[in-house]
Amino acid sequence: MKKPGEVFEDSRVYDPGIEAIVPRYDELHDAILNAPPQQRDDEIHVLELGAGTGELTAKLLTRFPESTVLAVDHSERMLAEAKRKLETFGDRVQIEQRTFPDDHPDGHEEFDLVISSLAVHHLSSDEKQTLFGAIHEALVPGGWFVNGDVIRFDADHLETLSDAMIKNWVRSKGWEEEEFMNQWQASDDYDDPDTLTDQLVWLRDAEFDSVASLWQYYNFAVYGGRKPE
């Protein structure tokens, strides 16, 4: 039985697999890391929600060499991959098995930056709003939250267009989508994306300012906001 967001039965195939079904995966990660105002040599403390196999975590730790990261995820098997990958970063990274928003974040004003990639869309609308409030509490004044994620369109034809774009992407990697999903034992029955507009409004409701969307490719977007000073 898979947990929401694990995507593949076998987490060891996640890294090559996710690049084949998420268009512009690396570009999405780059946009997340380009968004915050911090400089490369700043000593920042970062929370990553839904770190999975640690792909974005490794990129963050490399791009910000003075950073420390708390990487949380509810999946033991995804975190086992992350532990292997992130070992080289030593005590700059702490990995914890937690479920958000139920038992995390629970810190108060301790993180300069909270990031997430392809994880928050597994939560219901209510849970997303609860999470945005908890993230706001966990950030230091002036800290940023940046999320790169799946979004939903209200217009049916844009949903259809996004589905077609993903099928074309998988085909460009040499697979028919159904064949890929079967052979790689992939699926995500727990997707619950919301519109970008709703999520930007919920960030404002949670008292973030400078709320903005920085990058979008069909039904994938990078957006976030700042906790006021």
Ligand X SMILES: C[S@@+](CC[C@H](N)C(=O)[O-])C[C@H]1O[C@@H](n2cnc3c(N)ncnc32)[C@H](O)[C@@H]1O
User: Which residues are at the interface with ligand X (CB under 6 A)?
Assistant: 3-7, 18, 50-52, 55-56, 73-75, 78, 99-100, 117-119, 122
Minimum distance from residue 56 beta carbon to ligand X (Å): 5
Instruction: Compute the distance between CA of residue 78 and CA of residue 221 in angstroms, rounded to an integer.
Output: 23
Q: Which is nearer to ligand X, 41 or 76 (CB)?
A: 76
* CA nearest neighbour of 40 among 62, 64, 21: 64
- As measured in angstroms, the least distance from the Cβ of 104 to ligand X is 7
Nearer to ligand X, 38 or 75 (CB): 75
Shortest spacing between CB 8 and ligand X, in angstroms: 9
- For ligand X, the closer CB: 126 or 154: 126
Backbone φ and ψ of 95, nearest 5°: -115, 130
Q: Which is nearer to ligand X, 50 or 224 (CB)?
A: 50
From the CB of 157, what's the least distance to ligand X, in Å?
26
Tell me if 25 sits within 8 A of 133, measured CB to CB.
no
Residues 118, 49: Cα–Cα separation, whole Å: 10
Measured from the CB of residue 220, what is the shortest distance to ligand X in angstroms? 11
At 18, is the secondary structure helix, strand, or coil?
A: helix
Q: Can you give the C-alpha Rg of the chain in angstroms? A: 17
Kindly tell me which of 16 and 37 has the beta carbon lying closer to ligand X.
Answer: 16
Pure H helices in 87-221: 125-138, 156-172, 177-183, 196-205
Nearest residue by C-beta to ligand X?
Answer: 52
